[in-house]
Structure 1
Amino acid sequence: MLRPIRTIATAAAALLLATACNSASTSGEPSGKDSAAVRGVTPDSIKVGGIVSMTTASGYSKKDTDLGARARYERANAEGGVNGRKIEYLGAEDDGQDPARNLAAARKLVQQEKVFAVSPMSSVTFSGADFLEKQQVPTFGWGTVPQFCGPKYIYGFGGCMVPMPGGTITQSWPEGLAHVLGGAKGKSVAVLANDNDAGTFAIRTYKQGFAAAGFRVSYAKAAVPATSLPSDWSAYTKEILRSNGGKAPDAVVSVMQTPYNIGLFTAVKRAGFKGVITDPTDYDPGLLAKDATKQALDGVHVLLSFEPFESSSAAMRQFKDDIRKAAGKDVPLNMHMMTGYMSADFFLAIAEKAGKDLTVESFQKAAAGFSDTGTMVGDRSLPKGQKEAFGCGALVQLKNGAYQVSSPFKCYEPVPFG
């Protein structure tokens, strides 16, 4: 029996999910070796779609995830496709970071568009996960929500980032921060997240991870409303800046999206905080276009689960060239492009291994024994990646209007999560 996937769906989304599960047909699943019977697969093509939060209530957008995926698929097609089949990429559905729309997008891609796979899926809400799992749809995205941890058909391009008890926690953020601070011994961190399921999981995960690295976690709360930006951050800053025995911690760790980070970081700086500020979101040269944003993020160390764009590796040069070709011009790079690109790359690697006779069964068989090394997210292997992260990361610091590597890309041993 499959482990239930915990979603953050609203009552409306739950109703839609029940309807979807009762009415969805699985008649499109593979039958023997006849590729015509496989949903989304023809002798010449493989149909793939995406789900991305292109618009959100806060103004935060992951739209460039779609560009990153398209860039990788276009190169695959230019090189002859996957075992002779071209990727028919339909683009990404916009879920608006809304649970009901996420599920509706999943249903549309499977029931109407008849896709073989969903790649990328990039949203903090993944209410369509149960549906995609039951319909046996290989799905790839950034494993920063719990639905990427455990299911058979859902894969994080960097592995499972928020494991369930019994799994492990990647230490790239705590160890990277320790590198920046000259060690974790005697240092304290305050961790803040949004008040939703994703934030609660993040707090539970990082509280253990930072403590395991040797930090004192002086504050850890999922307290900031996820549906609206606070107009006054003083209630949070007062708690944070007094959390370390009445004084400020050595580092403020935010597990939130850019609009929230701008507000929080501006507030703690105005309150006189001189320590390290870090988040996993704000690696985007486009953010530097506005002076207020650039000032708020100046000095911030951003966690990356992939090679920094500043890397000179052959893989990074290829990525930049692919993005340039897909965009039709030079564009500022951001982490959303990498999310889409590496989601597509992971799907393509497994599909290639599955061979000419591509079915869901052959794809899953290829995934079960998949491994490779030296990618822009480190060494990938399955089924490990469905239980724990691949464990690699770097920190970059925004300084004087440019990003600089503050902790180099490296892979770390995970720690148990319980």
Structure 2
Amino acid sequence: MSLELRFTGNPTTDAASWLTPERHWPALTAATAHLDAPVGALHLGALRHNALDMVRRASGTPIRIASKSVRVRSVIEALLEMPGYRGVLAYTLAEALWLADSVDDLVVGYPTAERGGIQRLATDPALASRITLMVDSPAQLDLIDSVLPPGRREPIRLCLELDASWDAPVLGHLGVRRSPVHDPADAGALAAYIAKRPGFALVGMMSYEAQIAGVGNQPEGRPIDGALNRWMQSRSMPELVERRARAVAAVRRHAELEFVNGGGTGSLELTSADPSITEVAAGSGLFGGHLFDGYAHFTPAPAAAFALDVVRSPSPAHATILGGGWIASGPPTADRVPRIVWPEGLSMVARESAGEVQTPVTGRAAARLEAGDRVWFRHTKSGELSEHLNEFAVVDGGAVVETIPTYRGEGKAFL
């Protein structure tokens, strides 16, 4: 776990080879040529660039690392050693319990029904002091009490989630379907209820503005969508800032909040400027999945990528790659497919696309590909790539400087 991310200076000068594709990708090919495919590469210069640029964009507001967008323990631990990063937003209780050996501030970003995990958390004072559970309903407190009632367990730290979606005129609900707690009065009422329940301590609030943080405002080749998204975001954020401030005030009447969390990679500037926020959550911008290319105000470097082998040529105009069907979660649309980034001039065959065990490609570069050649891809999402790889080869200075396991490589699959 020796990954070194500390860097002083201007991140734009940190070996920005990714700005010159004809140098960057062949250099990655050469550095990892001794490794069998599938090859996962983590370019250290690009990762440093992204980590520091996110700190710059947060303007002094601490960043809680969204672990689902990384899923590599050594990277998470290295980031926590950097100024500007504090704590982890985990995605399951089981993951938080595992990370708690080396991380002392964990918030589980979603409510849990993991009874075994609750039992372990509730009977271990050290774990109970490090891990905070997400709630948005009394029923979730009832579930915890059904595992172990107050008096027979440690006090459970809680974070109340406020729904950050926008009820837009005409368009209706914009955002994600998360917490049922939307109005400040509802947030205050739930906080008052929690305060009266023995065995719980409400210590935080969270709200994730997905319609701002997770929606590109300048998607490639879709100018009308970009204009609509910018219009939506310019109206949604002011509404949320005002409503969130009232909700935080209502909750603080009943609880001493240690933190108020919000945002995501795409909204670091806006969320960190909200006076009610004490920290922001972000992770996708670290590895730079291609879904985050469509933003006008920042451009993540492609820190994480994967390479697969060409294994056959079914015709003079086609080449076939072994594997490739690493489809991202979300709406089943074209932007969920891995993006071929090298060699340039390749495209997938429409009737097959990215396949489970083979991906045929065509285009001007296909005829030049031979068995054993490498093709580089970027995954749509950031952390989901780690679910397909046992390890990343960390590349720096044109060579593999170390190999680090993903969660999968450490034998962990939390969802």
Instruction: Give TM-score, length-normalised by structure 2.
Output: 0.31
Whichever of the two has the greater Rg, that structure is 2
Q: TM-score, normalised by structure 1?
A: 0.31
